[in-house]
Structure 1
Amino acid sequence: MKPLSVRQIRTTIAGELIQGSDHVIIHFGAYRLKQIKKSHTILFSSKKIINWEGLRRFFPLVLVTDQVFSKNGQSEDLTVIKVNNMEEAYWKFVHYYRSLFQIPVVAITGTSGKTTTKEMIRHILSADKNVTSTNSSNNSRTAHLHYLLSIDDDTEAAVFETAVGEPGDVRNAGQYFKPTIGIITNIGAHHLNYCKTLEAYIHAKGEMVSALNNAGLLILNAEDANSKKLDLKNFKGRIIKVGIDLSCHYKANDIRYCKDGMQFILQYEENTYPMFVPGFGVHQVYNALAAIAAVHEIGVDFPKIADRLKTFQNLNKHLQVFEGINGSTILDDTWSMTTTSLEAALNVLNELGKTKKRVAVLGTITDLGSWGYIIHEKAGEIVSEKGVDVLITIGEHARIMAEQAVKKGLNGQVYSFKNSPLAYELLSRIADDKTIVLIKGDMYSQAIIELAAKLRKKK
């Protein structure tokens, strides 16, 4: 955080100094007690704090409150600012702090590929810029203030994930970050337990338009069907499309699998540039295209982009390839589970497994609410369409996938288990050096994660 004095903040939020000093310097911010980790923190809170003794180790501390405050012998190391309206004061502070920095800020949303695209952008820019970003995929709305305050006078660019748990999430993130560039990687069907309908989920992702204040630069996947449904009629900024279509501003040609990743030719205007991105799958090329578009618009030239992109390290549990039990090949894709990422993973399985027995081990898709049955049926249709030699599902909801795949004509062996030990017992019998196993679930499925670890060859 850029250090600010109490006087600067108090003036900005129109607060009255009740206790303490205008000269205290603030280095951290919080709006919940548990977010206070160090001294020199400013806390915005309407709640009555009872246990001041438990907070003394963080003094000097600054409290902004709209409640009546009684000193009751409180230390002078506690500075208190009284405001008329807490929420209004908090957002004045947020908007003021963001206004201090005129830097490129990239915000990324999408059903799949957010973290990978964000990490690619961070990796490319960090070659010669001081970049702040979301940590891994920790994109909770409660972390927005922390990430905003990670911008300081040394920061030259920022890149943040803006996830959708429910409608309003992307718009809320935009209030903090005020991005200059927005990216929607793709829109599948997820978090329907809160969004209720696919249309509402698409609309929630489309909040990126308002996050950009209907200006700035919006990067879209030209081939993504649901992204084409976004209402962009009021968007006054620039729209850049990436993909393989002739209409794309950043277009990928001659996409090929190679050792450890994907090769493609980037076409921009009348020029072409050879590119390599670590990590398998055409979807990885789309992630790279979005990242390339963002960093090029920020000012990085294509030769430097190509050099940096080839040194990108693909993320843990994102279609990682390992040697597995009985000499088999394991594709560990246990980071997330959506129909969008499932289709991408099955494409990779089929490409890498052209001469092998293809086994898919699939867990449950979460955060679907009343849509659970329908989305699992859709997943089963995807499995049937892509085809595997052996399908193994784990969990009661995952069984729906297996049943639908069979119903739609999957030509392969199908097994449904309630738990992972039974799946491991089967795999230990059928896997050999001519077998490739995709294991896919999400980060919340401990059983799937543990099974993936057991399937790897022990070093």
Structure 2
Amino acid sequence: MTAGEIVKAVEGTLLAGDPETVIEHICIDSREAREGSLFIPIIGEKVDAHKFIAQVLDNGAAGVFMSHGDVTDPDKVHILVDDTVKAMGRLAAWYRRMFDMPIIGITGSVGKTSTKEMINAALETGFRTMKTAGNQNSQIGVPLTLFRMEQGQEMAVIEMGISEYGEMDNLVRFVEPDVAVVTNIGEAHLAQFGKMENTMKEKLKITSHFTEKNRVFLNGDDPLLRQAAASMKCPVVLFGTEPGCDYRAENIHIEDGKNCFTLIYPEGREEVVIRQLGHHNVLNALVAIAVAKHFGIEPSKAKEGLSKYEGLPMRQQINHLSHGIKVIDDTYNASPASVKSGINVLHQLDNPGRKITVLADILELGDMSWQRHYDLGMEVAESGIDMVVTVGQEMKALAKAIVDSGKGIPVCSFDSNDAASQWLIGNIQDGDAVLVKGSRGMHEEEVVKALRERFANKAES
């Protein structure tokens, strides 16, 4: 792109520099700026990255966006915009339209990243794909993802996450997905949306521009999404285990430590094996196969890509430690639904010892936080877990529910990861399996690290 094209795309003003300057790279991290880069300074809660403008230009960057301040190098491109984040979104939308390739947009309350990875694994068996790196699914992350589109790619799989009203409208404007996937509607971000019906309404805006030419894939096991399917204005494909799902899993079982199931789909059936445990990963595999079939890849081929997929760090990653101890690192994030899926995976582990859960606060549940934690505790008490360890103030509600349930499950509560880790190190027994989970802000990876270091003489992941 030239600076002049960018100015026009973002409705900005060129304050300095040559409009014919070629921009080859977009970055928001000053450390990533290089020759040919356009640096976009983000104004954060603590740092205004405009203060790095002079530095990145000295280091060779070709130009910058700026919403305030003075030109620091008259020979370099300076583009004045109203808001750097909004301008980046406008530029991403303009850039996306340069490519005539199908884009699969993925949203949902939980499981977006793992679903994205599995869809990509299935599509890679037939196409050259581009996917969201990590979980760059925000108002900033999605534009950065779109800037990675390039000639030679045939398809893009893009994660689209929201936590506030109006955000999906922006993401749809940037991405313009051709196909949409909605994983589920859960209790994530209730502080912002108030109730799950509002969450669903916002998530389904991913299809706001869809016509009969587009298609949406909905989780048929999710009551809210199944109900919404009847009123969609575009073709709907349901995936799940319930009757009536277009892509349905039957005979789900564990074999040699792997998830196995029979896929029933309109044209036939297929035996599928994936490495990831848990019911939710069966659903991920179903929609991955369904999306691949939509683009002409037969399930018999798509399942080969899924069988090779190894999963993501901090997302139900199973660590085999010494003394037969197994630790499930599910510390990336948490919601009530994902805690239950983590416990499901814990129960699927073949270990001779106890099943122990280490649960830290689930954040962003708003005024309902205490009640949601308490209700989840009642469900955990019914799950057959042998011991519960909690970290944080909110999880004390879950601990109370465990006690109130009368199930006799031992529960220990701690205020810090360090205290919980020390207790676990002193109380874990040979053959125990431990699930460690909490919201990102609780940093439960610290607990996993402590266990790995203590029982690491034969550790392997």
Question: 1-side partners of 2:123 and 2:381: how far apart?
Answer: 41
- After superposition, give the CA deviation of every residue in 1:239-297 in whole Å (9 maximum; x if it has no partner): 11001123111111111112232011111114111111111111110111111112221
Q: Quick check: 1:337 aligned with 2:338? A: no
Q: 2:439 aligns with which of 430, 439, 442?
A: 442
Q: 1:245 aligns with which of 242, 246, 250?
A: 242
Residues 139 and 163 of structure 1 are in contact (CA less than 8 Å); yes or no, is this contact kept in structure 2? yes
Q: 2:33 aligns with which of 19, 26, 37?
A: 37
Partner of 1:78: 76
Q: How does 1:162-201 map to 2 (within 5 A)?
A: 162-201=160-199
Question: 2-side partners of 1:394 and 1:57: how far apart?
Answer: 46
- After superposition, give the CA deviation of every residue in 1:351-403 in whole Å (9 maximum; x if it has no partner): 33686432222111112222211211121122022131222212221111011
Partner of 2:57: 56
TM-score (norm 1): 0.85
Q: Quick check: 1:288 aligned with 2:282? A: no
Question: 2-side partners of 1:340 and 1:451: how far apart?
Answer: 21
Residues 125 and 301 of structure 2 are in contact (CA less than 8 Å); yes or no, is this contact kept in structure 1? no
Q: Residue 366 of structure 1 aligns to a residue in which SS? A: coil
Partner of 1:203: 201
Residues 206 and 230 of structure 1 are in contact (CA less than 8 Å); yes or no, is this contact kept in structure 2? no
- After superposition, give the CA deviation of every residue in 1:101-139 in whole Å (9 maximum; x if it has no partner): 111111111222111111112223334533222111232
Partner of 1:414: 411
Corresponding letter in the other structure for 1:386? S
- After superposition, give the CA deviation of every residue in 1:121-178 in whole Å (9 maximum; x if it has no partner): 2223334533222111232321222111111112211111111222222222111111
Corresponding letter in the other structure for 1:37? A
Partner of 1:101: 99
Corresponding letter in the other structure for 1:451? V
Q: 1:112 aligns with which of 110, 113, 116?
A: 110
Partner of 2:264: 267
Residues 389 and 413 of structure 1 are in contact (CA less than 8 Å); yes or no, is this contact kept in structure 2? yes
Query: Are the structure 2 counterparts of residues 148 and 416 from structure 1 closer, same or farther at C-alpha, using a change threshold of 3 Å?
Result: same
- Comparing 160-169 with 80-89, greater Cα deviation is found at 80-89
Question: 2-side partners of 1:413 and 1:94: how far apart?
Answer: 52
Partner of 1:433: 430
Q: How does 1:295-334 map to 2 (within 5 A)?
A: 295-324=292-321, 326-334=323-331
Partner of 2:377: 380
Corresponding letter in the other structure for 2:266? E
Partner of 1:454: 450
Root-mean-square deviation (CA), in Å? Answer: 3.4
Count how many residue pairs are aligned between Structure 1 and Structure 2: 450
- Mind listing any 5+ residue stretches in structure 1 that lack a counterpart? none
Structure with higher Rg: it is 1
Residues 190 and 196 of structure 2 are in contact (CA less than 8 Å); yes or no, is this contact kept in structure 1? yes
Question: 1-side partners of 2:79 and 2:319: how far apart?
Answer: 57
Residues 44 and 65 of structure 1 are in contact (CA less than 8 Å); yes or no, is this contact kept in structure 2? yes
Question: 2-side partners of 1:451 and 1:51: how far apart?
Answer: 36
Q: Residue 38 of structure 1 aligns to a residue in which SS? A: coil
Residues 175 and 211 of structure 1 are in contact (CA less than 8 Å); yes or no, is this contact kept in structure 2? no
Query: Are the structure 2 counterparts of residues 210 and 62 from structure 1 closer, same or farther at C-alpha, using a change threshold of 3 Å?
Result: same
Deviation at 1:22, TM superposition (A): 4.1
Question: 2-side partners of 1:110 and 1:33: how far apart?
Answer: 28
Query: Are the structure 2 counterparts of residues 442 and 270 from structure 1 closer, same or farther at C-alpha, using a change threshold of 3 Å?
Result: same
Question: 2-side partners of 1:83 and 1:322: how far apart?
Answer: 48
Question: 2-side partners of 1:162 and 1:88: how far apart?
Answer: 16
Question: 2-side partners of 1:87 and 1:429: how far apart?
Answer: 48
Question: 1-side partners of 2:324 and 2:214: how far apart?
Answer: 51
Query: Are the structure 2 counterparts of residues 359 and 94 from structure 1 closer, same or farther at C-alpha, using a change threshold of 3 Å?
Result: closer
Question: 1-side partners of 2:421 and 2:179: how far apart?
Answer: 45
Query: Are the structure 2 counterparts of residues 96 and 425 from structure 1 closer, same or farther at C-alpha, using a change threshold of 3 Å?
Result: closer
Deviation at 1:238, TM superposition (A): 1.5
Deviation at 1:338, TM superposition (A): 0.9
Q: Quick check: 1:142 aligned with 2:143? A: no
Q: Which runs of 4+ in 1 moved over 6 A?
A: 13-18, 43-52, 64-67, 69-72, 81-91
Q: Residue 295 of structure 1 aligns to a residue in which SS? A: helix
Residues 40 and 58 of structure 1 are in contact (CA less than 8 Å); yes or no, is this contact kept in structure 2? no
- Mind listing any 5+ residue stretches in structure 2 that lack a counterpart? none
Residues 441 and 449 of structure 1 are in contact (CA less than 8 Å); yes or no, is this contact kept in structure 2? no
Residues 182 and 218 of structure 1 are in contact (CA less than 8 Å); yes or no, is this contact kept in structure 2? yes
- Comparing 380-389 with 424-433, greater Cα deviation is found at 424-433
Partner of 2:274: 277
Query: Are the structure 2 counterparts of residues 432 and 43 from structure 1 closer, same or farther at C-alpha, using a change threshold of 3 Å?
Result: closer
Residues 105 and 181 of structure 2 are in contact (CA less than 8 Å); yes or no, is this contact kept in structure 1? yes
Question: 2-side partners of 1:269 and 1:217: how far apart?
Answer: 16
Deviation at 1:440, TM superposition (A): 1.9
Deviation at 1:231, TM superposition (A): 7.8
Question: 2-side partners of 1:229 and 1:361: how far apart?
Answer: 35
Residues 326 and 428 of structure 1 are in contact (CA less than 8 Å); yes or no, is this contact kept in structure 2? no
Query: Are the structure 2 counterparts of residues 5 and 328 from structure 1 closer, same or farther at C-alpha, using a change threshold of 3 Å?
Result: closer
- Comparing 209-218 with 241-250, greater Cα deviation is found at 209-218
Query: Are the structure 2 counterparts of residues 88 and 213 from structure 1 closer, same or farther at C-alpha, using a change threshold of 3 Å?
Result: farther
- After superposition, give the CA deviation of every residue in 1:297-347 in whole Å (9 maximum; x if it has no partner): 122222221211111012222223333464333223222211111111222
Q: Residue 208 of structure 2 aligns to a residue in which SS? A: helix
